[in-house]
Structure 1
Amino acid sequence: MSYPADSKPLTILIAADTYPPNVNGAAQFGYRLAKGMSGRGHEVHVLAPRASNGRSYTEPGGDWTVHRLRSHSVPTHDYWRICLPWEIKRDISLLFDRVQPDVVHIQCHYMVGEYTLYEAVKRGIRVVATNHFMPENLNPFLPFPAWLKRIVAKNSWKDMGKVMSKAAAVTTPTPLAAKAMHDHAFLREVLPVSNGIDSAAYELQPGEVIEPHEHPTVLFVGRLAEEKHIDVLIDAVAKTPEHLRVHLEVVGGGEVKPALQAQAARLGIGDRVVFRGLIDDDELRKSYIRASVFCQPGTAELQSLVTLEAMSASTPVLLANAMALPHLVSDGENGYLFTPGDSDELGRRITEILELSQEDRQKMGAASRELVGKHDITATLATFEGLYYGTLRADLDAGSFTPEAAREPSGTAFSG
């Protein structure tokens, strides 16, 4: 047990607008947070939308308890679900009566996070708020003109500030994201806390042998969505020298998959681009280890857990020079940044890494593994535990972003 000697274990309610079986960084963080806090001796409850139609209910079994709220599908997204306030407010209140949480940790300022926070504040329960989203993440799913999307984004930032300002502590995965929240949501103090990762889980184990691919392979893992710019990566692979026979492995599902498949065929590399869809954790780990280089061309990443996973597997990385991705690259040591959208530059960087000797590529991979050490999940869990108890003050003890800092040089139903 890791809680302070003079404090009891906590009952923690984690409210998330996306959670497994959804596949994205925020959903995975919510799962790992629940698993980590349960492992540290706390009673953990997760509140999230259900993945299908029906009433709110509580899932049976599990090392922690997952409660699912009534939700509705979104026509522009293959798995995202929304919860309507008038359908969930009473269910959330009933769940508070039943669970009696000591602390609430919301993962978003949208419906589930917002109304869980309001209920906690009304009852005088401590709230920690974490933001995993940029309003721009919604753009591909909004059938609006650009000017209207800008209005939606501005209002989303405004709502974020209104909701999260009521929390005792506000966090986000990176300093850059914290600055964006200060500038656009007008939140004065935001603590950067890495999503964290169990790096050892992605390493080769003693005696384990995983054969590399027959051909040099670039790996992408993530949602096949517009803001990930996988089309740029496909273009880049097509521009690498023919003698290298560069292959691309794409792991994940999403709405742009048919267009990406058509693009690969049109460029004449359909036989070198493999779309694997969703795979289990064991297969994903092997993909990271087998890959010659990992690429994240996305431009709306608040941290990129998949990049941390690839680095944990000692894989060189090529990342778009956008949002939080530059924090994960020591240029020339564990990989390179490239100009977002520039397939020519990306193609040259892929070629540069793949033409290195095996020894030099291994050095790059080892540098990735060393750099990821500061994102250890143990430190992340300890930080959130301190915020839950109130023994860690986000404004003084943990280096939160402030405007002053920016100037420094450095199955049972639970409702009726």
Structure 2
Amino acid sequence: MSYPADSKPLTILIAADTYPPNVNGAAQFGYRLAKGMNGRGHDVHVLAPGSANGRSFTEPGGDWTVHRLRSHSVPTHDYWRICYPWEIRRDISLLFDQVQPDVVHIQCHYMVGEYTLYEAVRRGIRVVATNHFMPENINPFLPFPDWFKKVVARNSWRDMGKVMGKAAAVTTPTPLAAKAMRDHAFLTDVMPVSNGIDSAAYEVQPGEVIEPYEHPTVLFVGRLAEEKHVDVLIDAVARTPEHLRVHLEIVGGGEVKPALQAQAARLGIADRVTFRGLIDDDELRRSYIRASLFCQPGTAELQSLVTLEAMSASTPVLLANAMALPHLVSDGENGYLFTPGDSEELGARITQILELSGEDQRAMGAASRTMVGRHDINTTLETFEGLYYGTLSPAAAADEDGVHAAPAGSGADRPTRIQ
């Protein structure tokens, strides 16, 4: 295994099975990681599936280089692409010859990540592996009965262990996700490292005026997929008192959108539910700031970048008590957890927050902003640099709570908690 010297910038190859223009947390993290490492002076290359049919190619221009692999559409998903091993192995090998990476960072154990890791290991190149997925994330796109999906999930966990076990370091966004990987993929020394966020980007800037919505508004941002359970949120809004006139803003697209629109109409609240679709980053930032509170009812979140973004905008949050979401709530301080799938409880929590005084709602939002500080993107980038150079060891640095020493040369003199 080769360890690059820490006295020079690195050539980093980031292998991602989903990357912009895809809209999801893993794709966003891959983009932010590439941008951050490029900004720190490294030579960054991203390897990802192409977003349309055609041969493998390298995108022209850009602050860092993006290489696209030949890929194919999936009938059950509107943008996901898969790469066939027999079509990409040679292209991956040729890319290694061209790029000569010092370190490889895979973002998934499927397809692109798997075969990029195998090539790196064959060449003795250091590999860092990050897991952003739970096997349950793909269940809505598998046209099989539940018993067969469970078989697929067990095999996926097993494959994760087989593939990522070959990496020099393995990370995932939260301690809970790390525990799941230890329990199901039998991976030891999994290091929780937050995806990180530039929280200042979501604050109201000096001299900037962004008026709140006319009516109290609950915001959801994310893919409209079954595991997000946006139907529970729509039902909850319908249960709130009429005098509050609670509105719901839904940002994102996906396969269940028509069903959600029909549900809002059936419940008689279509005039209070706005489906924004995909919007640009500036409009999304304004939505976070204008909203009264943010809700994430999903049950398969490994971290939830959109929740971190909402918290950065000083917005109270209501999150399902599932997977990693509890790490983002201090009950009664910056919001509340609710029982997954329980629209009655969620409706009561929405009502509880919106009936608070304006001062108390602002205090909740301020608590969100304070809590998100531990997820600063610069800490995340420093941690990954330590893993890239081999100066930070997950086995020596991580404990059950996700506390690890700051990487050498980071300037930190105390442990940093990553959640």
Q: TM-score range by the shorter chain?
A: over 0.9
Q: Tell me the residue number matched to 2:242.
A: 242
Kindly state the Cα deviation for residue 6 of structure 1 after the two structures are TM-superposed: 5.5
Q: Tell me the residue number matched to 1:407.
A: none
Q: State the SS of the aligned residue for 2:34.
A: helix
1:74-93 to 2 correspondences below 5 Å: 74-93=74-93
Higher relative contact order (CA 8 A, sep 6+): 1
Measured against aligned partners, the alpha-carbon deviations of 1:257-302 in whole angstroms (never above 9, x if no partner) come to 0000000000000000000000000000000000000000000000
Kindly state the Cα deviation for residue 31 of structure 1 after the two structures are TM-superposed: 0.1
Query: TM-score, structure 1 length as denominator?
Result: 0.95
Contact map agreement 1:236 1:343 (CA 8 A) in 2: yes
1:274-313 to 2 correspondences below 5 Å: 274-313=274-313
Contact map agreement 1:292 1:315 (CA 8 A) in 2: yes
Equivalent AA in structure 1 for residue 234 of structure 2: I
Kindly state the Cα deviation for residue 188 of structure 1 after the two structures are TM-superposed: 1.1
Q: Tell me the residue number matched to 1:15.
A: 15
Kindly state the Cα deviation for residue 189 of structure 1 after the two structures are TM-superposed: 1.2
Q: Tell me the residue number matched to 1:24.
A: 24
Structure 2 runs not aligned, ≥5 long: 403-416
Q: State the SS of the aligned residue for 1:105.
A: strand
Q: State the SS of the aligned residue for 1:132.
A: coil
* Residues 1:150 and 2:150 are matched in the alignment: yes
Contact map agreement 1:316 1:365 (CA 8 A) in 2: yes
Cα distance in 1 for partners of 2:123, 2:399 equals 29
Contact map agreement 1:121 1:127 (CA 8 A) in 2: yes
Cα distance in 2 for partners of 1:294, 1:377 equals 21
Kindly state the Cα deviation for residue 237 of structure 1 after the two structures are TM-superposed: 0.1
Q: Tell me the residue number matched to 2:105.
A: 105
Equivalent AA in structure 1 for residue 201 of structure 2: A
Measured against aligned partners, the alpha-carbon deviations of 1:368-398 in whole angstroms (never above 9, x if no partner) come to 0000000000000000000000000111124
Percent identical pairs in the alignment equals 87
Equivalent AA in structure 2 for residue 11 of structure 1: T
Q: Tell me the residue number matched to 2:330.
A: 330
Cα distance in 1 for partners of 2:362, 2:207 equals 18
* Residues 1:63 and 2:63 are matched in the alignment: yes
Note the aligned Cα RMSD (angstroms).
1.3
Equivalent AA in structure 1 for residue 9 of structure 2: P
Number of equivalenced pairs: 400
Contact map agreement 1:191 1:401 (CA 8 A) in 2: no
Contact map agreement 1:83 1:111 (CA 8 A) in 2: yes
Cα distance in 2 for partners of 1:265, 1:367 equals 35
Cα distance in 2 for partners of 1:96, 1:399 equals 34
Cα distance in 1 for partners of 2:214, 2:178 equals 42
Measured against aligned partners, the alpha-carbon deviations of 1:324-359 in whole angstroms (never above 9, x if no partner) come to 000000000000000000000000000000000000
Measured against aligned partners, the alpha-carbon deviations of 1:189-216 in whole angstroms (never above 9, x if no partner) come to 1000000000000000001000110000
Equivalent AA in structure 2 for residue 66 of structure 1: V
Q: State the SS of the aligned residue for 1:87.
A: helix
Cα distance in 2 for partners of 1:393, 1:174 equals 17
Equivalent AA in structure 1 for residue 204 of structure 2: L
Measured against aligned partners, the alpha-carbon deviations of 1:56-113 in whole angstroms (never above 9, x if no partner) come to 0000000000000000000000000000000000000000000000000000000000
Cα 1:32–1:6, aligned 2, differ >3 Å: closer, same or farther? closer
Equivalent AA in structure 1 for residue 194 of structure 2: S
Contact map agreement 1:250 1:273 (CA 8 A) in 2: yes
Contact map agreement 2:249 2:275 (CA 8 A) in 1: yes
Q: State the SS of the aligned residue for 2:276.
A: strand
1:134-149 to 2 correspondences below 5 Å: 134-149=134-149
Contact map agreement 2:6 2:389 (CA 8 A) in 1: no
Cα distance in 2 for partners of 1:278, 1:192 equals 30
Cα distance in 2 for partners of 1:28, 1:7 equals 29
Kindly state the Cα deviation for residue 399 of structure 1 after the two structures are TM-superposed: 3.6
Kindly state the Cα deviation for residue 5 of structure 1 after the two structures are TM-superposed: 9.7
Q: Tell me the residue number matched to 2:161.
A: 161
Cα distance in 2 for partners of 1:221, 1:163 equals 32
Cα distance in 1 for partners of 2:349, 2:30 equals 34
* Residues 1:373 and 2:373 are matched in the alignment: yes
Q: Tell me the residue number matched to 1:49.
A: 49
Q: Tell me the residue number matched to 1:392.
A: 392
Contact map agreement 2:102 2:126 (CA 8 A) in 1: yes
Query: TM-score, structure 2 length as denominator?
Result: 0.94
Cα distance in 2 for partners of 1:162, 1:401 equals 25
Cα distance in 2 for partners of 1:396, 1:309 equals 31
Q: Tell me the residue number matched to 1:204.
A: 204
Cα 1:38–1:241, aligned 2, differ >3 Å: closer, same or farther? same
Kindly state the Cα deviation for residue 400 of structure 1 after the two structures are TM-superposed: 6.5
Q: Tell me the residue number matched to 1:350.
A: 350
Cα 1:140–1:5, aligned 2, differ >3 Å: closer, same or farther? closer
Cα distance in 2 for partners of 1:277, 1:397 equals 42
Cα distance in 2 for partners of 1:183, 1:327 equals 19
Cα distance in 1 for partners of 2:70, 2:400 equals 36
Q: Tell me the residue number matched to 2:260.
A: 260
Equivalent AA in structure 2 for residue 164 of structure 1: M
Structure 1 runs not aligned, ≥5 long: 403-409, 411-416
Cα distance in 1 for partners of 2:33, 2:50 equals 19
Cα distance in 2 for partners of 1:20, 1:203 equals 24
